[in-house]
Structure 1
């Protein structure tokens, strides 16, 4: 048994190495997302290097999510044209430029442009990475690699929260620009997806890529992928093909997952993490609370990545939705009792931190990771680029609405309102998951398509 595991690991060595280098891009993306948590309080303080109002600061957070759809649309247009690898490599140059702009920004418009550009890069990465990982990896590790996208994304966020508490905006931006440089010089040596080569009719290139990734015995795999792509390409894909019966069902599944993911409020909590903990009034410092928040998130994302290919997607998504909804409901009740009913909560100031830790641990068991890669599993190759673009546009749109809603309702009505709203969204999402999301555990991409068509 140990020998079989060792042989499997050796055969998959390049799959892991390729994924590891690609994940430097998602770390860079996570650093950008987490940037607002330590620096928005600074930008709103009397010592702000770029003075702004509370309303203006909310746009510094939200505009990142407005740049994302632009990157996603571009990814959808060029993913099958220039390849998954080239799209990812181009994001590194864009990230370097955005960090330089942040480092030397002196006005609000300059900062907004830099943040928009960072969101654009994020759209490129999350449009291409799940598809790339799905196509280069074996079914037995596809879930693990898919979850690792979010794990490393959150690693980036916690790194930024720690750095941002000790470094100036300029110093942290210059340091962070090193990450996309590292990605560029390492990932450039990694193989392109064999599926992309087959789409372009380059069968020999596809075979070389497949041999490098999965070992010498790959003729059957190559023929299976080639046949599937040829069948899909009998009718050249157009965006309208997404609305055919099977693809329409898949699209609704992805939109439902993205809606549940973002209207749980996780992006709002990420953007305003230190603000939330400050308002909670816990005796623990906001920085320590945020670090605990992210460390718990990373640990549970890792647990998800380890068990997703054993337990399955559906059970973990259902558990995640239930746990997140209960935690958000408890948070809403706490803030309602404290801020509206004006009851004495001085003896339980620790409770909001516990509630948010329970929320993020539950969320990370499924909702955090799986919407990212399930879309890459359930769509046929010929429409994946379009589907990925729409999935990511939904993510950015829902996240922007969620974070803006959080800021407005928190300021106008109190913290309990967004908590209760997000809890209701988790309940709605739970029913959507139960009734619509298929199980894809340990199935090849081709088998998933056969199963989906048999149910249509």
Structure 2
């Protein structure tokens, strides 16, 4: 019997390798090979749904970077009300407090009303926040608006990732997730462009249009079939799956529905004790430690703070190009250069990327700090000829983060944890990082006044190097490994 099963599996493998349009599965109860034809349908609705849903990440990027063009205006005499540097730090950072509340709220809705309506509900605070910013008459109004914005985008962002993962065909899921990431970069670029060429009020009105556009387009999109299966609404799941796959005949999607059902059953088995397993199982504790160190190397490099204050930072350089245009140029070039670096993780390997990206980021931060040390501590007079250094070095820094540390933190977190605890672990990491970002943003101006801007960059450089080196030393190489093989590496 064992030899027969082995023969059938070998035959199954050879048949699969010879076929591009079929899948072969082994029916172990009857010891025979069953052939399942999988035909690619019209995927237009999948792409439409992803483009519409990705307006959430567009808004997330624009809300995150908004403080960069907004703070110089709010501190100037042309503002309807003027804020202090300390208040500016709160305006930039309090957004991340809102995202914590959003991330705590979405699990209460996503399995009760569905992915689609959860996203539409969180679009309401997004819309309201931009209106509150537009009509703000004092800094308290801005604080409130930024918290509301954080709730809207912090709650919607993980649900949007969940939605795309559940509606996408498996062979284009990576591409559709990448499209979502591109929208984040476009969102930051759009906010900086609006800040550079439009008035403060017009910038806010422009950014208000995107959550409205999301509501108008996404309300016509289908709910995730996965959600309907979790609610035992199999007919609705089948109907939406046919729409998303572009089939009229439901028989073509039965295999995929069965796979979803199995995944849901496994999820229910592990849901109750996932938190306990995460901290009691040796492999999962080690995975949590590694993922935390990798994420910390990204956060403590200061990338989120530098993005939020990029216009202020470039104003210290004295570069001939105005800071708002320098920031726009920075964002445009980083987006253009960094996107092609996305496949590096699969070509080079995770450990090498952790070390090399960390070293490049560290050297960039050291160089920027040295420039400001010459200018503000040694008070070197002839700096105009090299005033381009901070802009050029920030481009290298951002490219290294986006092409290395950022995707590494996402991929490692997705690979190291077993399916039993992955959802719980990722939620902990997402929620845990926001207070760190909040404190770093809030303390940025105070650290500059106490230690000097050069010391702040050198502090980020030190943390980035130590944590990246720690990531390199402690993490296993997961390139080309299956999830089962990765779990064995965690022993």
With the shorter chain as reference, the TM-score category is 0.7 to 0.9
| Superposed displacement of residue 126, structure 1 | 2.5
Bigger mean CA deviation after superposition, 149-158 or 97-106: 149-158
Q: CA deviation at 1:179?
A: 0.6
Question: Take 1:333 and 1:8, find their aligned partners in 2: how far apart are those partners?
Answer: 59
Larger Cα-atom Rg? 2
Is the 1:73–1:389 Cα contact (8 Å) retained in structure 2?
Answer: no
Taking the aligned partners of 1:311 and 1:138, their CA distance within structure 2 comes to 27
Describe the superposition over 1:204-245 as per-residue Cα deviations: whole angstroms up to 9, x where unpaired. Answer: 444444444456644444333422331332244354454342
Structure 2 partner of 1:324: 361
340-349 or 116-125: bigger deviation: 340-349
Structure 1 residue 263 displacement after superposition: 1.3
CA distance, structure 2, for counterparts of residue 376 and residue 197 of structure 1: 25
Aligned residue pairs total 448
Describe the shift of the 1:189–1:255 C-alpha distance in structure 2 as closer, same or farther (beyond 3 A): farther
Q: Deviations over 1:308-365 (max 9, x none)?
A: 6666666555543332222112212222233223344333111111111111111110
Q: Sort the Cα spacing of 1:51 and 1:342 in 2 relative to 1 into closer, same or farther, 3 A.
A: closer
Distance 1:110 1:161, change over 3 A: same
- Partners of 1:127 and 1:172 lie apart in 2 by 26
Rounded Cα–Cα distance in structure 1 between residues aligned with 2:339 and 2:241: 27
Q: In structure 2, how many angstroms separate the alpha carbons of the residues matched to 1:184 and 1:201?
A: 27
Deviation at 1:289, TM superposition (A): 1.1
Q: How far 1:156 moved relative to its partner? A: 1.5
User: 1:114 Cα deviation (Å)?
Assistant: 0.3
More deviation in 279-288 or 78-87?
78-87
Deviation at 1:377, TM superposition (A): 6.0
- How far residue 298 of structure 1 moved from its aligned partner, in angstroms, is 1.6
Secondary structure (helix, strand or coil) at the match of 1:352 reads helix
CA RMSD, aligned part only? 3.1
Displacement of 1:21 in angstroms is 1.1
Contact 1:280/1:349 (<8 A) preserved: yes
| Aligned equivalent of 1:223 | 258
Aligned pairs for 1:340-379 (under 5 A) are: 340-343=377-380, 344-372=382-410, 375=413
For 2:343 and 2:236, locate their aligned partners in 1 and report how far apart those are by CA, in whole Å.
Answer: 32
The verdict on how the C-alpha distance between 1:10 and 1:231 changes in structure 2, with shifts beyond 3 A counting, is closer
Q: Secondary structure at the match of 2:134?
A: helix
Alpha-carbon distance change, 208 to 179 in structure 1, aligned in 2, over 3 angstroms: same
CA–CA separation in structure 1 for the residues paired with 2:112 and 2:213: 25
Correspondent of 2:279 among 221, 226, 243: 243
Aligned equivalents of 1:167, 1:285: Cα separation in 2: 15
Distance 1:267-1:453 versus aligned 2 partners, 3 A rule: same
| Alpha-carbon distance in 2 for matches of 1:144, 1:316 | 21
2:40–2:245 Cα contact (<8 Å) kept: no
- Aligned pair in 2 of structure 1 residues 91, 340: CA closer, same or farther (>3 Å)? same
User: What's 1:298 paired with?
Assistant: 335
Higher RCO, 1 or 2 (CA under 8 Å, sep at least 6)? Answer: 1
Where do residues 36-75 of structure 1 align in structure 2 (5 Å cutoff)? 36-75=67-106
Other-structure match for 2:29? none
1:398 to 436, 440, 446: 436
Aligned residues of 1:262 and 1:402 also touching (Cα < 8 A): no
1:140 CA drift (Å): 4.6
CA contact (8 A) 1:259 1:394 kept: no
Q: Is the deviation greater in 202-211 or in 116-125?
A: 202-211
Aligned CA distance change for structure 1 residues 397 and 139 (closer, same or farther; 3 Å): farther
Distance 1:125 1:110, change over 3 A: same
Q: Normalized against structure 2, the TM-score is what?
A: 0.81
Which stretch of structure 1 is more off in the superposition, 37-46 or 374-383? Answer: 374-383
* Displacement of 1:63: 0.5
Correspondence for 2:483 among 440, 443, 448: 448
SS in 2 for 1:81: coil
1:38-437 to 2 correspondence within 5 Å? 38-214=69-245, 217-237=252-272, 239-245=275-281, 246-305=283-342, 316-343=353-380, 344-372=382-410, 375=413, 386-434=424-472, 435-436=474-475
Query: In the TM superposition, what whole-angstrom CA distance separates every residue of 1:418-443 from its partner, at most 9, and x where no partner exists?
Result: 211211222233234433366377x8
- Contact 1:320–1:364 (CA<8 Å) still a contact in 2? no
The alpha-carbon deviation at position 76 of structure 1 amounts to 3.3
Q: Secondary structure, in 3 states, of the residue corresponding to 1:157?
A: helix
Instruction: Give the gaps of 5 or more residues in structure 2.
Output: 1-19, 22-37
SS in 2 for 1:365: helix
